[in-house]
Amino acid sequence: MKVAFLSFYSGEYFRGVETYVHSLANQLVKLGHDVVVYQNGPEVKGTKYKVVSMGMKVDWKKKGNESKRILNIFTNYWMQLVGKFTRRVLKQIDQDVDVVIPTNGNLQSVYCRLWCTLHRKKMLITGLSGPGWDDRFNVWCFPDTFIAATHYQEGWAKKVNPFVKTTTIPYGANIEDFEKPVSPLKINLPKPIILSVGALVPIKRHELEIEAVAKLKKGSLVISGKGQSEEKLKKLGEEKLKGRFQIVHLPHDQIANLYHSADLFTFATSPWESFGIVLVEAMAAGLPIVASDDPIRREIVGEAGLFVNPIDSTVYAKTIQKALEIDWGDTSIRQAKKFGWDSIACAYEELFKEIIQ
């Protein structure tokens, strides 16, 4: 089958969505499918699929208007840019494609729905945004199947639009890349090292991690990521965790080394985030988890960690301390293996066969 992904930020960033597209596309190629990823940035290392790079000019310092979500489609710089990117892609996309998978939502979902209806092609949308306005919009674009990352999200999607077909296929990780022994990075901070990985944006709530670690008698916080909140987080970290805080920017092929340098992984993300591939990566590296207490994180982490409302920094700090004192054995690795890409890619392949028949 011929599968086309639309992923505007691929080649520019390597966050959750881009990791998902890159890994799944590679796995589908291994299964014998013809895969094309339409993206704005250049081809990334380790790519086995075909890349079509649009190379549009981007003002990376530009901020969008988040005040009125309905009007955002027409006023937000990034949504407009993704819409322009999508129109360009659909003008040149191969007409013999079987399945189209838009990953950036909003206008991209609308344009792909119209194109697929006109050309009698199948469209899948994966719930990359999580329960909230963006995936509510995606569900009402009537994809041929809406793919939830968790059973909780699938239940939510069915309530939002009971007329659209839904299924659950979790995100995956290349478990062996994180499980195998690698050389840890040298982090010149007091131990234990508490690690968080994720874009430096409000939804990740990294400031709550800083507040909690600051209440520990010992230990340091390392955050890996880039984003609009970097300067704000640096200032807060230097104020609350002087000599015990660092933000690092690492290429994706060094992230495994970073995981193996830490003692614990924490993830204070908002409850409407759809998944958190970094949780699986961290568990594959053997790290215990302290995560936000919500149904999605509980479904992913299972018995491999503890859960907390991160808004309460005192309780958050106590939970981190408790997790550091537990002997977790191989619990994290066993949990991570439930999310290996081999089985997940096969689930996608079966879904392709089902919707095309």
Q: CB under 8 Å to 78, separation ≥6 — which residues?
A: 62, 64
Residues 108, 6 contacting (CB under 8 angstroms): yes
pLDDT of residue 247: 96
Residues 311, 157 contacting (CB under 8 angstroms): no
**CB environment 103-113: b (16+ within 10 A), e (fewer):** bbbbbbbbbbb
104 and 80 co-located in one domain: yes
Distances (CA, A) of 297 to 27, 40, 50, 172, 291: 25, 31, 33, 14, 7
167 and 259 co-located in one domain: no
User: How far apart, in whole angstroms, are the C-alpha atoms of residue 261 and residue 106?
Assistant: 38
pLDDT of residue 69: 53
333 and 347 co-located in one domain: no
Burial class (CB in 10 A: 0-12, 13-18, 19+), 286: buried
167 and 180 co-located in one domain: no
Domain that holds residue 67: 2-172+340-356
pLDDT tens digit at each of 357 positions of the chain: 999 999 999 998 887 889 899 999 999 999 999 999 999 999 998 899 999 999 999 988 776 544 445 556 667 888 899 999 999 999 999 889 999 999 999 999 999 999 999 999 999 999 988 888 889 999 999 999 999 999 999 999 999 999 999 999 999 888 988 988 788 898 999 999 999 999 899 999 999 999 999 999 999 999 999 888 999 999 999 999 999 999 999 887 889 999 999 999 999 999 988 899 999 999 999 999 999 999 999 999 999 999 999 999 999 999 999 999 999 999 999 999 999 999 999 999 999 999 998
105 and 246 co-located in one domain: no
User: H/E/C letters for each residue in 152-215?
Assistant: HHHHHHHHHCCCCCEEECCCCECHHHHHCCCCCCCCCCCCCEEEEECCCCHHHCHHHHHHHHCC
208 and 330 co-located in one domain: yes
pLDDT of residue 10: 95
**In 10 A of CB 346, how many CB atoms?**
14
How would you classify the pairing of strands 193-197 and 220-224? parallel
**Backbone dihedral angles phi then psi of residue 345, each to the nearest 5 degrees:** -65, -35
Helix axes 16-30, 277-284, angle to 10 degrees: 70
86 and 166 co-located in one domain: yes
19 and 65 co-located in one domain: yes
Please name the residue ranges forming H helices in 205-338.
206-213, 230-240, 255-259, 277-284, 295-301, 313-325, 331-336
**166-168 sheet: strands from edge to edge:** 50-53, 34-39, 2-7, 99-102, 122-126, 145-148, 166-168
CATH code for the domain in which residue 219 is found: 3.40.50.2000
User: How far apart, in whole angstroms, are the C-alpha atoms of residue 159 and residue 171?
Assistant: 22
Residues 201, 229 contacting (CB under 8 angstroms): yes
| Nearest alpha-carbon partner for 262 in 326, 317, 212, 195 | 195
62 and 148 co-located in one domain: yes
pLDDT of residue 63: 64
pLDDT of residue 267: 97
149 and 234 co-located in one domain: no
Q: Which residue has the tokens 């619990």?
A: 331
160 and 300 co-located in one domain: no
120 and 207 co-located in one domain: no
Q: What value, to the nearest 5°, has the Cα angle with vertex 230 and ends 332 and 317?
A: 45
pLDDT of residue 67: 42
When divided into structural domains, the chain yields a total of 2
Element (H, E) at 122: strand 122-126
